Amino acid sequence: METRAQFITLDGIDGSGKTTQLNVIRDWFAARQMPVVFTREPGGTPLGEKLRELLLDPQTRVSLHTETLLMFAARRQHLEDVVLPALAQGIHVVSDRFTDATFAYQGGGRGLPAAEVEVLENWVQGSLRPDLTILLDVPLEVSVARIEGSRDKDRFEREDSDFFARVRAAYLQRAAQSPQRYAVINSHRDKAEVKQDIEAVLDRLFRFAETEKQPAHE
């Protein structure tokens, strides 16, 4: 029996290992031959990628409100062109970052009130929320050390450790408030252990999705 298309997001502080774990998720879907689209934010569309380049450029000088609006502009185009059409066709979607990143970076990191982010979230997304958010978490010192090891730091990676401490705290706070949607995974462990945890989370999500579709027994 076919399941409803699932919207999955992978998020976490810089240096949490998202690139590595995205490959784990790709392999999981490929092994099961399930239709899936992988995408990212900001980005995912021609317009979104141009905005991504602008937002990550260390030379960009922009106010917090403008930065947040640009994030949501990219997001709306992403939803219209990629996410919503795929879900409507029964294709699962996995996005590298989504609105949780705005709450964490522009909200926690830069200090924009969560209520202001929520207004934009509701306007841009309507009722759409991810079915599952896999939140990769590492200790702050690990994140900072990995960022410092980057040769070319983008506009966000150039922020100080206090900024990333606030970002991490915002992510963990959101996960604690909605435990049914988030799977917080400590990615500062052996790769095989992290892989096993992510696969278990995906197995559980799709078992639940299948259960929802099955008729109740009288």
Does residue 1 sit within a domain? no
141-164 pLDDT tens trace: 887 787 777 767 888 888 888 999
Cis peptide before 35 (omega within 30 of 0): no
- Residue 1 confidence (pLDDT) above 50: no
Domain count, the chain: 1
Beta-carbon count within 10 A of 19 CB:
9
In this prediction, residue 2 carries a pLDDT of 53
| Residue 198 included in any domain | yes
Residue 191 inside a domain? The answer is: yes
Q: Is residue 2 part of a domain?
A: no
The 10 Å Cβ neighbour count of residue 181 is: 16
The predicted pLDDT at position 8 comes to 98
Identify the pLDDT of residue 83.
98
Cβ atoms of residues 137 and 13 within 8 Å: yes
Question: What sign has the CA pseudo-torsion 205, 215, 37, 72?
Answer: negative
Residue-range definition of the domain harbouring residue 107: 7-213
Q: What is the pLDDT of residues 84-108, one digit of tens each?
A: 999 999 999 999 999 999 999 999 9
The tokens of 74 are what? Answer: 């990219």
Alpha helices in the chain (DSSP H): 18-32, 46-56, 64-78, 84-88, 99-102, 114-125, 140-148, 161-177, 191-213
Count Cβ atoms below 10 Å from residue 119 Cβ, excluding itself: 11
For the chain, the average pLDDT equals: 91
- Is the pLDDT at 213 greater than 70? The verdict is no
Is residue 74 a contact partner of residue 43, using CB atoms and an 8 Å limit?
yes
In a domain, 104, yes or no: yes
Q: What is the CATH number of the domain that holds 194?
A: 3.40.50.300
How much of the chain exceeds pLDDT 90, in percent?
78
Dump pLDDT digits (tens) for 57-80: 999 999 999 999 999 999 999 999
Is 168 domain-assigned? Answer: yes
Cβ-based neighbour number of residue 138 at 10 Å: 22
Quick check: is 20 in a domain? Answer: yes
What would the mean pLDDT of 30-57 be, rounded to a whole number? Answer: 96
pLDDT category, 211, cuts 50, 70, 90? low
Instruction: Give the pLDDT confidence score for residue 217 in this predicted structure.
Output: 44
Q: What DSSP string runs through 21-71?
A: HHHHHHHHHHHHT--EEEEESS-SSHHHHHHHHHHH-TT----HHHHHHHH
- 127 lies in a domain? yes
**Which residue do the tokens 């958010």 mark?**
133
165-181, pLDDT tens digit by residue?
A: 999 999 999 999 999 99
Average pLDDT over residues 31-46: 96
Dist. CA 154–CA 147, nearest whole Å: 10
pLDDT at 193 over 70: yes
Answer whether 102's CB lies under 8 Å from 150's CB: no
- For 99-133, write each residue's pLDDT tens digit: 999 999 999 999 999 999 999 999 999 999 999 99
**Per-residue model confidence (pLDDT) at position 208:** 54
